[in-house]
């Protein structure tokens, strides 16, 4: 749990820091998206290779190496003088995080053979995951209230100085490993294929690159992934056992992880900007506003383990997703200017339900995998989380920009150059408003706030519809999922 916490904090701690960081580094809109996205997107490509490497070398060794890299990369990110160097530091953070995450799940799978105990252990893991992701904006807001933007990364260094010796002392030096070579060529194929494919999707949606370039990169990415799959099917020692995908519970768990984590990351990023740009809250106030998500998410993990043992995985997973969809739909039509009691209740419902849903996905995947497949299965689930977060932020960010631009009604008389820039994002409205007269600038900001409120409602409604569709899909996929009777040992 200690090893996992800094990795999951780093997924969301930047959300409230985006406005501050953008101004300090004079980062463009594209650079800001890369600073946030490079971490989950690169990690998504690295997780399966690192998970299978851990099965061969040992979880303890890979975990300790990952913790060291993560600590050093955090220090580099904190003192990055410009946006490109911060992007490089975030790439190193992704490498360290990709070594840590599968090992945490692999250690849990190998330590707890009893299914009821494993469900509770994965519940605690889910709590750290959901609560860590939710508490990220709060910690980020508190740090930004007193220190410079780099403090959101520097906080990881003292944590690693405690976690590293603790893991070195507490983790067993004896563990079962798979005595097979680690095919580095297959790993490189997978990393390049995933990154090219995800980059093409990102660039295509953002319309930042010509269609010909997007299609070329997408073709290369899909081609590399196809080659990787062929190698797995033909190789006597494949890096990833593709038969894992023949188990419906594993497929359901991965899809749940992608959609739920993507929705959570996108919603948090949207809320953080709405609260700061439209309602004028400080980063700390924005973090405090999201406390109900964090507090409820902390309860969701252990509750999910207990509920799944008591009632079975399928009803728990489907009900949690249905409640998430309802909470998102409720937030879409609620007035944040006058939140009353309804907004905290909806935020708490969302945090609790998504936390239960994410833990249910872990129970589905790890329950369908044998102990010898723990690293590979754990890396598949973690890939779902990271891919979900990365794509969630990308698609929400791009969707937000398109909807915002269409709803923005700027005052007359603005030069075309300024009008085009203001239409990109709420941050750009504030930047361009400083380049015109006070009255015109105030009118621009008012127009921007009105457009962002509409955008925010459209995004939350879309997330609610996605969650509703996921509920139906998971209900079908988990039809034959094993259930664990209460109290069984």
Which of 127-131, 193-197, 282-286 comes out lowest in average pLDDT?
A: 127-131
Tokens 């994410």, residue located: 358
b/e map of 285-297 (b: 16 or more CB within 10 Å)?
ebbbbbbbbbbbb
- Which among 75, 83, 95, 79 has a CA at the least distance from the CA of 7? 95
The Cα 29–Cα 21 span in angstroms is 11
Q: What is the pLDDT averaged over residues 71-88?
A: 87
Interval 406-425: pLDDT, tens: 888 877 777 777 777 777 77
Q: What is the pLDDT of residue 220?
A: 93
Q: What is the pLDDT of residue 489?
A: 30
Are 455 and 404 in contact, with CB atoms under 8 Å apart?
yes
Q: What is the pLDDT of residue 353?
A: 87
Interval 4-27: pLDDT, tens: 887 877 766 776 677 777 777 766
Q: What is the pLDDT of residue 175?
A: 65
Percentage, residues of the chain above pLDDT 90: 6
The token pair that represents 36 in the structure block: 């946030």
Q: What is the pLDDT of residue 480?
A: 66
Interval 436-479: pLDDT, tens: 777 777 888 888 888 888 888 888 888 888 888 888 888 888 77
- Residue 108 pLDDT exceeds 70: yes
- Residue 402 pLDDT exceeds 70: yes
Q: What is the pLDDT averaged over residues 277-285?
A: 78
The Cα 192–Cα 477 span in angstroms is 30
Tally DSSP H helices, then E strands, for the chain: 19, 0
Q: What is the pLDDT of residue 371?
A: 62
The Cα 367–Cα 106 span in angstroms is 12
Q: What is the pLDDT averaged over residues 316-340?
A: 86
Average pLDDT, the chain: 78
Answer with the residue of higher pLDDT: 351 or 13.
351
The Cα 130–Cα 144 span in angstroms is 22
Q: What is the pLDDT of residue 326?
A: 93
Burial (0-12, 13-18, 19+ Cβ within 10 Å), 230:
exposed
DSSP alpha helix (H) spans, 290-373: 291-311, 313-332, 342-367
- Residue 359 pLDDT exceeds 50: yes
The Cα 374–Cα 58 span in angstroms is 11
Interval 143-171: pLDDT, tens: 777 787 788 888 888 888 888 888 888 77
Q: What is the pLDDT averaged over residues 56-76?
A: 87
Position 484 confidence tier, pLDDT thresholds 50, 70, 90: very low
Position 370 confidence tier, pLDDT thresholds 50, 70, 90: low
Which of 118-127, 212-221, 288-297, 378-387 comes out lowest in average pLDDT?
A: 378-387
Position 485 confidence tier, pLDDT thresholds 50, 70, 90: very low
Q: What is the pLDDT of residue 47?
A: 78
- Residue 313 pLDDT exceeds 90: no
- Residue 354 pLDDT exceeds 70: yes
Tokens 């933007």, residue located: 149
- Residue 482 pLDDT exceeds 90: no
Tokens 């039509």, residue located: 333
Q: What is the pLDDT averaged over residues 60-75?
A: 90
The Cα 25–Cα 400 span in angstroms is 22
Position 181 confidence tier, pLDDT thresholds 50, 70, 90: low
- Residue 327 pLDDT exceeds 80: yes
Terminal-to-terminal C-alpha distance of the chain:
24
Contacts for 229 with CB less than 8 Å, ≥ 6 apart: 242
Plot region of 172 (φ>0 → left; ψ -120 to 50 → alpha; else → beta) = beta
- Residue 37 pLDDT exceeds 80: no
Q: What is the pLDDT of residue 72?
A: 93
Are 49 and 384 in contact, with CB atoms under 8 Å apart?
no
Q: What is the pLDDT of residue 386?
A: 67
Query: 0.85 cut: is pTM over it?
Result: no
- Which among 331, 483, 480, 457 has a CA at the least distance from the CA of 404? 457
């Amino acid at each position: 749990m200690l090893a996992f916490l800094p990795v999951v904090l780093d997924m969301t701690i930047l959300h409230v820091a985006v406005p501050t960081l953008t101004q300090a580094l004079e980062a463009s809109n594209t650079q800001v998206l890369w600073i946030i996205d490079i971490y989950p997107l690169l990690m998504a490509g690295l997780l399966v290779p690192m998970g299978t490497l851990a099965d061969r070398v040992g979880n303890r060794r890979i975990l300790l190496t990952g913790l060291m890299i993560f600590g050093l990369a955090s220090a580099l990110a904190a003192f990055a003088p410009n946006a490109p160097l911060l992007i490089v530091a975030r790439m190193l953070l992704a490498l360290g995080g990709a070594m840590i995450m599968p090992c945490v799940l692999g250690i849990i799978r190998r330590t707890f053979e009893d299914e009821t105990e494993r469900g509770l252990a994965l519940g605690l893991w889910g709590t750290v995951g959901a609560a860590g992701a939710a508490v990220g904006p709060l910690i980020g807001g508190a740090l930004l209230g007193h220190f410079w933007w780099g403090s959101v990364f520097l906080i990881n260094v003292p944590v690693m100085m405690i976690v590293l010796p603790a893991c070195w002392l507490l983790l067993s030096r004896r563990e079962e490993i798979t005595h097979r070579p680690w095919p580095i060529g297959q790993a490189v194929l997978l990393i390049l294929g995933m990154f090219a494919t995800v980059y093409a999707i990102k660039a295509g949606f953002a319309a930042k690159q010509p269609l010909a370039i997007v299609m070329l990169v997408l073709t290369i990415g899909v081609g590399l992934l196809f080659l990787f799959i062929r190698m797995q099917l033909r190789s006597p020692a494949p890096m990833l056992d593709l038969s894992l995908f023949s188990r419906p519970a594993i497929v359901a768990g991965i899809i749940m992880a992608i959609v739920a984590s993507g929705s959570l990351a996108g919603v948090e990023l949207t809320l953080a900007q709405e609260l700061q740009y439209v309602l004028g809250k400080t980063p700390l106030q924005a973090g405090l506003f999201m406390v109900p998500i964090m507090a409820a998410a902390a309860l969701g993990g252990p509750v999910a383990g207990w509920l799944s043992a008591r009632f079975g995985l399928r009803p728990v997973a489907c009900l949690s997703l249905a409640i998430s969809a309802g909470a998102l739909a409720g937030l879409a039509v609620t007035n944040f200017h006058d939140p009353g009691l309804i907004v905290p209740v909806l935020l708490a419902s969302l945090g609790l339900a998504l936390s239960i849903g994410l833990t249910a996905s872990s129970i589905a995947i790890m329950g369908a995998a044998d102990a010898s497949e723990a690293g590979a299965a754990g890396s598949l689930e973690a890939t779902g989380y990271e891919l979900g977060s990365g794509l969630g932020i990308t698609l929400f960010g791009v969707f937000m920009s398109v909807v915002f631009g269409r709803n923005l009604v700027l005052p007359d008389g603005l030069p075309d150059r300024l009008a085009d820039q203001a239409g990109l994002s709420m941050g750009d409205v504030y930047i361009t408003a400083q380049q015109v007269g006070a009255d015109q600038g105030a009118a621009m900001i008012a127009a921007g706030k009105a457009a962002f409120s509409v955008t925010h409602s459209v995004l939350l409604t879309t997330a609610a519809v996605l969650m509703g569709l996921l509920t139906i899909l998971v209900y079908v996929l988990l039809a034959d999922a094993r259930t664990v009777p209460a109290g069984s040992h």
